Amino acid sequence: MSVGVSPDLAAFLAAARDRVETALDTYLPRPPRAPAVLDASMRYSLLGGGKRFRPVLALAAADAVARGDEARVALALPAACALECIHTYSLIHDDLPAMDDDTLRRGRPTSHVVFGEGLAILAGDGLLTEAFALMAREPQGGGADLAARKLDAIAVLATAAGAIGMVGGQAIDLDGAGQVRHPDATAPPVFDAAALADMHARKTGALIRAAAEVGALMAGGSADEIAAVARYATHLGLAFQIVDDILDVEGEAATLGKTAGKDAAAHKPTYPALFGLERSRALAHEALDAALAALAAADLDRHLPALARWVVCRSS
Amino acid sequence: MSVGVSPDLAAFLAAARDRVETALDTYLPRPPRAPAVLDASMRYSLLGGGKRFRPVLALAAADAVARGDEARVALALPAACALECIHTYSLIHDDLPAMDDDTLRRGRPTSHVVFGEGLAILAGDGLLTEAFALMAREPQGGGADLAARKLDAIAVLATAAGAIGMVGGQAIDLDGAGQVRHPDATAPPVFDAAALADMHARKTGALIRAAAEVGALMAGGSADEIAAVARYATHLGLAFQIVDDILDVEGEAATLGKTAGKDAAAHKPTYPALFGLERSRALAHEALDAALAALAAADLDRHLPALARWVVCRSS
């Protein structure tokens, strides 16, 4: 069951999403520079709706450290769009028959259902690659300080999305589901609570943390501010994942826009399966409190506290 | 039939390959930061041999503009390694059942045969992502000028590898082979000579051109020098592709380390199929001449001319 958001947060979310939507459409290469068939598949998934949680979080973190200074917030827009490109690529690849084999995403048929498996793989590859092209190019100008921030942001995002982050988490998930061939005959891992937390910290948490971090970084936040939003987002990412697991158990396909109950059916480890629903809700609220404390310690607020509350209250 | 290389080029190639091999092993994240199973799959393909043509070309271009100044050449090593990560990811994904469905590569079973399809997709995703993490991080230090060059190199490489470059070329190839689903019922493209050239310019040419360009860029070449090695590499990339097509017709699996005759069997367009063997060889030599002329016009030489001759003479 979802709850309402405050008018202030709702306005911020709507404006941020519009901004990201428009910018994504502008930044992506168009035919004939990009082949029409590839362009169609990339835009189908990228511009096909979604909460835009990661780019919105990046802009909210930018807004928090910039105390609303619009010129500074705007510097984070390309990185926000790159985050959505990377998130979307990960969904396309995760949905493939060789991975989670999902046919429904964001309420529509998945990429490989529409375009075939080969082009779906390429659409993902294209979105991942364009994310870095975009971050290296934009925002233009700005001198040595901005160039240094752009390089730092690329390093943060690539590290979070790569082998020690998101891709690593997906590999652990796949391995735990028995979908990896082990040429050396080692056994797949068994998931306990610690392994579950590690997997989610990589698979979902790393990119959420990076979203807040690159937002604050590009908007010129201090080292302390960047560290504080990173701590906030680490707790928020955990809360986000627990809530997602709860919604998967409770939810309907219509609400989620994807096949519900799928994780449980695939014997994938989830928070409700390990801890039960009650305890899972309590864990999400503990994570929320820790996220808010991290902000308070650095004297940061603006939309970040309300955003965190909104994430957690999706499930209560 | 291969021909010998000059002792001077042979020594350069051997040293460059050793250097890339060692650096790749150092730069990749290790377990437990990267999950062991993902790390194994990434290293299996990345460190599994290969000509290392793109990184060697990057180092040769760096060496040419730096006139052998070792400190400047060393600045191009991370980008050279990133090129090999990107090339290797593209091979892993191209070999998947949903793409070319190859079981042999560089003389060994392909990634999905060894680790399963899901992990093969992730190994490719991981290598692509680590390429950008590496280029953003390394070489460290160096001030504003080096930071600007790193950003330029990331933009060049991501653009060449992305939707208007390599991924775009692979999409055209896949579409031409009838492996793309068209939801709007448009027909797949028909390959004539111009379409073939466009596909190869994207699929193979863009990354080869980028290799020379980022090598020269990172080593501090002038704008004219960077433009000259880019022109050289554009012609070289064409020659490389024609020779590859010829070898596919003539070659044996043992020489190529991959399944020979595969392109013809799949009715993929090739230069020999369109122009015949004789004319294809002549086209490769014309491209070689154009590559050498581009170097001469900018007064660049060192190992670049011999490297181009070596590429073309693989087939004569």
Per-residue pLDDT tens digits for A261-303: 565 555 567 899 889 999 999 999 999 999 999 999 999 999 9
Amino acid A223: pLDDT: 97
- Tokens at A97, concatenated: 């028959």
Summarised one tens digit per residue, pLDDT across range B270-313 is: 899 889 999 999 999 999 999 999 999 999 999 999 999 999 98
Is B147 in Cβ contact with A33 (below 8 Å)?
no
The shortest CB-CB distance from B147 to any of A120, A135, A147 is to A147
Q: Would you say residue B70 has pLDDT above 60?
A: yes
Q: Does A158 touch chain B (CB under 8 A)?
A: yes
Q: Would you say residue B256 has pLDDT above 60?
A: no
Task: Provide the pairing of β-strand A108-109 with B104-105.
Answer: unpaired
Query: Is residue B122 a contact partner of residue A171, using CB atoms and an 8 Å limit?
Result: yes
Q: What is the pLDDT along chain A (316 residues), one digit of tens a residue?
A: 345 678 899 999 999 999 999 999 999 999 999 999 999 999 999 997 888 999 999 999 999 999 999 999 999 999 999 999 999 999 999 999 999 999 999 889 999 999 999 999 999 999 999 999 999 999 998 889 999 999 999 999 999 999 999 999 999 999 988 999 998 888 887 788 888 889 999 999 999 999 999 999 999 999 999 999 999 999 999 999 999 999 988 875 445 555 555 655 555 678 998 899 999 999 999 999 999 999 999 999 999 999 999 999 875 4
DSSP string, A70-123: HHHHHTTHHHHHHHHHHHHHHHHHHTSTTTT--SEETTEE-HHHHH-HHHHHHH
CB neighbours of B160 closer than 8 A, spacing ≥ 6? B166, B206, B207, B209, B210
CB hemisphere CA count around B246 (13 angstroms): 25
CA distance B207 to chain A (A): 13
**What mean pLDDT do residues B189-198 have?**
84
DSSP string, B144-176: HHHHHHHHHHHHHHHHHHSTTTHHHHHHHHHHH
CA distances from A76 to A219, A220, B55, B261 (A): 6, 9, 33, 50
CA distances from B34 to A214, A235, A266, B41 (A): 22, 22, 25, 11
Burial class (CB in 10 A: 0-12, 13-18, 19+), B92: buried
Query: Is residue B92 a contact partner of residue B123, using CB atoms and an 8 Å limit?
Result: yes
Report which of A10, A55, A61 is spatially closest to residue A304, judged by C-alpha positions. Answer: A61
DSSP string, B62-118: HHHHTTT-HHHHHTTHHHHHHHHHHHHHHHHHHTSTTTT--SEETTEE-HHHHH-HH
- State the Cα–Cα distance between residues A297 and A303, nearest whole angstrom: 16
CA distance A305 to chain B (A): 31
- State the Cα–Cα distance between residues A293 and A89, nearest whole angstrom: 33
Summarised one tens digit per residue, pLDDT across range B86-102 is: 999 999 999 999 999 99
Q: Would you say residue B125 has pLDDT above 60?
A: yes
Query: What ipTM does this complex have?
Result: 0.94
CA distance A228 to chain B (A): 23
Amino acid A248: pLDDT: 85
* Chain A positions in Cβ-Cβ contact with residue B125 (cut-off 8 Å): 89, 93, 124-125, 128, 167
Q: Would you say residue B140 has pLDDT above 60?
A: yes
Amino acid B1: pLDDT: 35
Higher per-residue pLDDT: B251 or B81: B81
CA distance A260 to chain B (A): 22
- State the Cα–Cα distance between residues B82 and B86, nearest whole angstrom: 6
pTM assigned to the model: 0.94
**What mean pLDDT do residues B38-50 have?**
93
- State the Cα–Cα distance between residues A172 and B241, nearest whole angstrom: 38
Neighbours of A276 (CB within 10 A): 11
Q: Does B146 touch chain A (CB under 8 A)?
A: no
Residues B45/B47/B52/B56 CA torsion (nearest 10 deg): 140
Binned at pLDDT 50, 70 and 90, residue B192 comes out as confident
Amino acid A241: pLDDT: 92
The shortest CB-CB distance from A122 to any of B120, B136, B167 is to B167
Binned at pLDDT 50, 70 and 90, residue B265 comes out as low
Amino acid A28: pLDDT: 95
Secondary-structure class of domain B7-313 per CATH: mainly alpha
Amino acid B257: pLDDT: 57
- State the Cα–Cα distance between residues B273 and B278, nearest whole angstrom: 11
- State the Cα–Cα distance between residues B251 and A282, nearest whole angstrom: 65
Report which of A233, A258, A229 is spatially closest to residue A244, judged by C-alpha positions. Answer: A258
Binned at pLDDT 50, 70 and 90, residue B50 comes out as confident
Is B155 in Cβ contact with A150 (below 8 Å)?
no
Residues A68/A70/A74/A80 CA torsion (nearest 10 deg): 30
Query: Is residue B268 a contact partner of residue B177, using CB atoms and an 8 Å limit?
Result: yes
Is B38 in Cβ contact with A171 (below 8 Å)?
yes
Higher per-residue pLDDT: B50 or B38: B38
CB neighbours of B302 closer than 8 A, spacing ≥ 6? B60, B63, B64, B67, B68
- Tokens at B60, concatenated: 């040769």
Higher per-residue pLDDT: B20 or A269: B20
CB neighbours of B41 closer than 8 A, spacing ≥ 6? A171, B111, B114, B115, B119, B120, B122, B123
Percent of chain B having pLDDT more than 70? 92
Amino acid B154: pLDDT: 98
What are the residue boundaries of the structural domains of chain B, listed by start?
7-313
The shortest CB-CB distance from B167 to any of A38, A117, A181 is to A38
- State the Cα–Cα distance between residues B202 and B159, nearest whole angstrom: 11
**What mean pLDDT do residues B26-32 have?**
94
Residue of B nearest to A149 (CA): B147
Amino acid A265: pLDDT: 52
Q: Does B114 touch chain A (CB under 8 A)?
A: yes
Q: What is the mean pLDDT of chain B?
A: 92
Report which of B136, B31, B135, B92 is spatially closest to residue A168, judged by C-alpha positions. Answer: B31
Residue A189's SS3 state is: coil
- Tokens at B224, concatenated: 């004219």
Q: At what angle do helices B304-313 and B277-297 cross, to 10 degrees?
A: 180
Q: Would you say residue B184 has pLDDT above 90?
A: no
